Amino acid sequence: MPPRTITVDAVLFDMDGTLLDSTPGLHAAWTTFARDYSLGDPLAVVHETHGRRLADTLKEYCRIEESKLQDEIDRFEEEVINGGPIALAGVLDLLAQLSSETQDGWTIVTSATRNYAPRALERCGIPLPRAGIVTSNDVAHGKPHPAPYLAGAELCGVSAANCEISPLARNSRVRVLTAIY
């Protein structure tokens, strides 16, 4: 397929699977939690929870009470960081190009927490966007709800209608566009 050119005011990137790969650490963390909370096959949990907010998945799958939730989030995220996330091929060059062409023309909209996201990005050598990032701590509803994407567009100072969201499942794009119009 030949490359295509699009004109947008900003790009809203997902983090894990788009900019970096944390698969080894994620598998290790879910293996630990599957053992500790008798969840069964950790790979099944990985597939069922990918892209969702960690607080939501730990409450749902592990039945962690609110008073212990933050400690378990911290423990899970530490294991993922120790697993060595890596920047995906071409990401550093792409972000360097975007940063040289625009001040606030890109940001990261992630289901990761405010504690984990900057640490994972730093570990991979990925710069934080000048506009800031949207994490699970910044919105009441996680993806695919439009709130995180609308917050990302606001950080960039543009309308979400003029943003490219990368990557984005079709049903999420419909929800974002419906929220805008």
* Cβ neighbours for 161, distance < 8 A, ≥ 6 positions apart: 177, 180, 181
Q: Compute CA distances 148 → 83, 107, 155, whole Å.
A: 27, 11, 11
Which residue in 78, 79, 63 sits closest to 115, CA to CA?
Answer: 78
What is the spatial distance between Cα 108 and Cα 105, in angstroms, rounded to a whole number? Answer: 11
Q: Are 114 and 132 in contact (CB under 8 A)?
A: no
**40: closest CA among 61, 14, 15, 16?**
61
Annotated catalytic residue 14? yes
The catalytically annotated residue of 9, 16, 41, 93 is 16
- Given the residues 14, 36, 41, 138, the one annotated as active site: 14
36 belongs to the catalytic site: no
- In the chain, which ranges are E strands? 10-13, 20-21, 86-87, 106-109, 133-134, 163-166
Write out the catalytic residue numbers: 14, 16
